[in-house]
Amino acid sequence: MTEFWGRVKEIFFDALDLEPEEVPAFLDAACGDDPQLRAAVERLLAEDEQSGTRLEPPWDRLLEKEVGEGATKIDTLGDFDLLREIGRGGRGIVYLARQRSTGRRVALKVLDRAARVDPLQRERFRREAVATARLDHPGIVGVLEAGEQDGIPFLAMEFVAGTSLADELRQGPAGRLFGSTDEPRVVIAARCVARIAEALEHAHSRDVVHRDVKPQNILVDARLEPRLVDFGLARDLAEITITLDLEGTPNYMSPEQIAQQRLLVDHRTDIYSLGVILYEMLTGTRPFAAPTAAQILHNVTSLIPKPVRRLAPDVPIDLETICHCAMAKRPSDRYRSAGGLAADLESFLAHRAIAARPPGPIARATAWADRHRVACTVLLLLTLVLGGILLQPVVAHAMAAGELAGRLDAAAVRIAAGELPADL
């Protein structure tokens, strides 16, 4: 596959993860002044939209034309019969499959054709299998089997009949999560995030950091319970300290991930991402949304989000405090553990006191200064100018008084020496 088509593929799948209104600005930034590149991506997006499903993805059809590969349909992998495609992302395809030896239905994840020849993508796939195999928690979709057949790596996972949290957020009251109960939105959000925090605490206790916690990677099952999936970017804590790369989804990446501060990227990066999800569930907006990925990255590292209650006044103060504590810019200001975040959310739900505290006066002043940097600069300059004007008479008076005192001291010395009469 040529470099051109590799770039088309990358931009196409990145665009699929965006809201429709975000795509034009994203393509402006991603394609730049290359009309051929943009036209190819837009053609793929149009075909994808017209197809209604991705059972016959347009990317595969174009890839076949480009590299001359015939369409090799996969019916079985190992002990699994593939039934139908149920999902697709930038690197892999997920099928509903049946395990022949047990008869149970599973979600079978495989790398797509282009990713199979990419060593980095194969390593990520291996990493996901290894990381998830170490975990056993009801809030994490478990891995049942990992293998490879005819050069095709596959990962068999529990099949979760449901939708992603991203889909539920888009549907709002019309969806299952928010529309099937009379419970307040704040209660649903707090409970959902608490469950994922408990799952992350389990992962962190086994030295696994997810690094890509986002609504698309949270499934809502038939019982409306959230389940965390996709550990493709997961890292062992020991590996993170020696790894320098920019991986994740911009809207949910922590400041230290973006700044590539490798010594600071630990379990607290997942806590930050979960705080962003809580913010979105409470306010209906992403805290640092912008037309382009570059702007989002800048906002995450440079801006302070608007207070939750300014956008959603019905949110209780304690829940706002929990959210902003999880989203603190500095890792040291966040919850020390995902378990601590879960405990505070459970305290909120039980109407008990929470451990987190709102920021003090100094922190609030710093936050205000971060949000109004231009105003602060102007205010400082005005203070210096006005201060200089107001102090000028005082300084002049002090200088005159000092000069007079010096002259009197000199006269006293001359009188003592007999150079001047004492009754002068």
Please identify every residue annotated as catalytic: 212
**CA–CA dist 308, 320 (Å, integer):** 6
Neighbours of 2 (CB within 10 A): 9
Residue 87, H or E segment: strand 80-88
> Are the CB atoms for 113 and 153 separated by under 8 Å?
no
CA distances from 411 to 397, 401, 408 (A): 21, 15, 5
Buried b (16+ CB within 10 A) or exposed e, 181-193: eeeebbebbbbbb
**CA–CA dist 60, 55 (Å, integer):** 10
**CA–CA dist 249, 265 (Å, integer):** 15
SS3 230: coil
SS (H, E, C) 109-169: EEECHHHHCCHHHHHHHHHHHHHHHCCCCCCECCEEEEEEECCEEEEEEECCCCEEHHHHH
Backbone angles phi, psi at 402, to 5 degrees: -65, -40
**CA–CA dist 77, 97 (Å, integer):** 9
The backbone region for 374, taken as left when phi is positive above 0, alpha when psi lies in -120 to 50, beta otherwise, is: alpha
Taking alpha carbons only, the member of 1, 152, 150, 153 closest to residue 63 is 1
The backbone region for 286, taken as left when phi is positive above 0, alpha when psi lies in -120 to 50, beta otherwise, is: beta
